[in-house]
Chain A
Amino acid sequence: MPEIFELEFMRRAFVAGLLISIIVPIIGTFLVVRRYSLMADTLAHVSLVGVAVGVLTKTHPVISAVIASTLAAVLIERLRGLKKLFAESILAIFLSGSLAVAVVIISMAKGFNVDLLSYLFGSISTIDRVDLFLLAALFVLVLASVALFYKEFFLVSFDEEFAEAGGVKARALNLFIVVLAAVTVSLSMRIVGILLIGALMVIPVVTARQFELSFRNTIVFSVVCSLVSVITGLFLSYYFDLASGGTIVLVSLAIFLASFMVTRQE
């Protein structure tokens, strides 16, 4: 067995990494095509509020992060539905607002040990069994719902009004996609960290979109890109003692650059 798999937590990190790298770009594709890339980052920042609450109340921070980001996702979609504010402004408010809330809660928890950096930039040695079970459940949920509602998701992502006219319950579906995104983001933060999860959700999708493939193939392509990024990134970070989240994102950026060169010549 290679040295890297001797440690139990590295095996856990690999399993978690593989699950994440398959579902994150699937969700990401639906967000990117509707110009909602910032959503991932916003939900990640809201997750930090959940982490802070979890640390303060001494419960499982990942579970409270899932709850916080899901609530925020619902709120954001509600506000967007009112059409009173630009979608982008709503995201900006949630992104910075939640950071403010998180910092205040963390300052209230003084005297307690907040290993905040491990949440901000990911820490694969902290993945526990609960995290893995949650991720596995989410993995099944995301794959099943995309398989069942593929056509509806597709329609809603490209043309909400057209989909609505065609009898698709656009608002409910939107909400569903965003909630899936929220849960995915919170569960992925152990691997790549709150500040970098947005990158993993967006970069492989943008890479895939340059090849002008069908929607279905774009998803497949972006999943392959993110799998390669996560696996190569984990290997590089282990053997060269680098931060895992950052290394994974850098590999995915390198793949993006390569794809940009390859597709540019037309």
Chain B
Amino acid sequence: MPGMQPVRRAVLFIAALAVVSGIVILLISFAVNEKTPDERLTLSASFYPLAHFAGKAGGENVEVFMITPPGVESHDFEPTPRDVRKIRKSAVFIYNGAGLDPWAERIAPTLEQSGVRTIEMTSHFTLLSAETDAPLENEGHEEHDGGGHDPHIWLDPLMAAGQVNLIGEALGAADPANAATYRSHSSRYGAELMALHEEFSSGLQNCGTRDMIVAHDAFRYLAARYGLNIIPVVGVFSGEEPSPRRIAEVTRIAKEKSIRYIFFEPLASRKIAQTIARETGAGVLELNPLEGLTKEEEAAGKDYISVMRSNLANMRKALQCI
């Protein structure tokens, strides 16, 4: 637009801008619509184990949204505004708490206000402290910060059974007509978890050692249940990078206790386990903390129980159990 007055040209530009962005806004707010929800009860769960348990307790009657997508650690996840809207439209929202899903702890109070039945799983169990092995008093809902507690309660099959029970009850309260169905679903799955517990306790009874080195301190509830001694490379929160000093220390312990296998996690890097294994001549094995399954694992038909079984197999190998 040569020769035009600067102000006029600027005004024209702004007008064009306003028209274009106005059209864009109108188009997307009318064109992008959600799928019409079906008649089933909807439940949102913050991450894989809870979504899986809810699917088992709810069966056909419940549509379960897993908010943290496959292959993502729920601690690193941030829900999009549309995720939040989806959660708000569901009848029940379950999350872990104790710092595992900080985003869920943040939005939970507003969800409760808008009538969503919200369960914070860790507030229903006696938690281990994130620092020492001493169990802490259950502080329930006052504890919003979650810095001090170990959140990995789903890795103990018995605690998992307790969670399934809680979910079944919450579903029954949200949908009283089907309460009996939810109760029978959750007790059936609870029985499967009890069988898993039996496998763990007999499988880990007679072992050459009870010491195991893991990438991050996720397995303390499991270890407490079956009398194992966990030596973690990093603390309870997996985002931390271990200091070279800590790696050296763990290497020394591995040599002293002549540990044969170092455990790594599928969603995190296996480099640290490999570094220690190279130093000590040990092998590496996978121990899945089940914070999420990748798309491949899901496609291969893996679920909570099958992954826990392969965890058990690897633990038996590493601990030389008979």
> What residues make up the interface of A, taking CB atoms closer than 8 Å to B?
2-4, 6-10, 13, 58, 110-115, 117-118, 123-126, 208, 211-213, 217, 221, 224-225, 228, 231-232, 235-241, 251, 255, 258-259, 262-263, 265-266
Contacts and interface: CB of A to CB of B under 8 A. Distances in A.
A231 B29 CA distance: 13
Nearest to B12: A262
Interface in B1-43: 1-2, 6-7, 9-10, 13-14, 17-18, 21, 24-25, 28-29, 32, 34
B180 interface: no
Please classify the interface of chain B as helix (H, G, I), strand (E, B), loop, or mixed, using the class held by over half of its residues: helix
Contact of A111 (B13, B81, B103, B131): B131
Interface string B63-78: 0000000000001101
B25 A232 contact: yes
A213 B145 CA distance: 51
Interface residues of B, number: 43
B74 to A, nearest CB: 12
Nearest to A232: B21
Interface of B: 1-2, 6-7, 9-10, 13-14, 17-18, 21, 24-25, 28-29, 32, 34, 75-76, 78-82, 84-85, 88, 99, 102-103, 106-107, 110, 130-131, 145-147, 235-237, 239-240
Main SS class of interface, A: helix
B10 A221 contact: yes
Contact of B32 (A112, A224, A239): A239
A113 B10 contact: no
Given A113-B146, A213-B6, A235-B24, A3 B85 contact: yes
23 contacts: A4-B29, A6-B85, A7-B84, A10-B81, A110-B235, A111-B235, A111-B237, A113-B102, A114-B239, A115-B103, A125-B79, A125-B106, A211-B9, A211-B13, A213-B6, A213-B7, A228-B17, A228-B21, A232-B24, A235-B28, A236-B24, A238-B82, A239-B28
B28 A241 contact: no
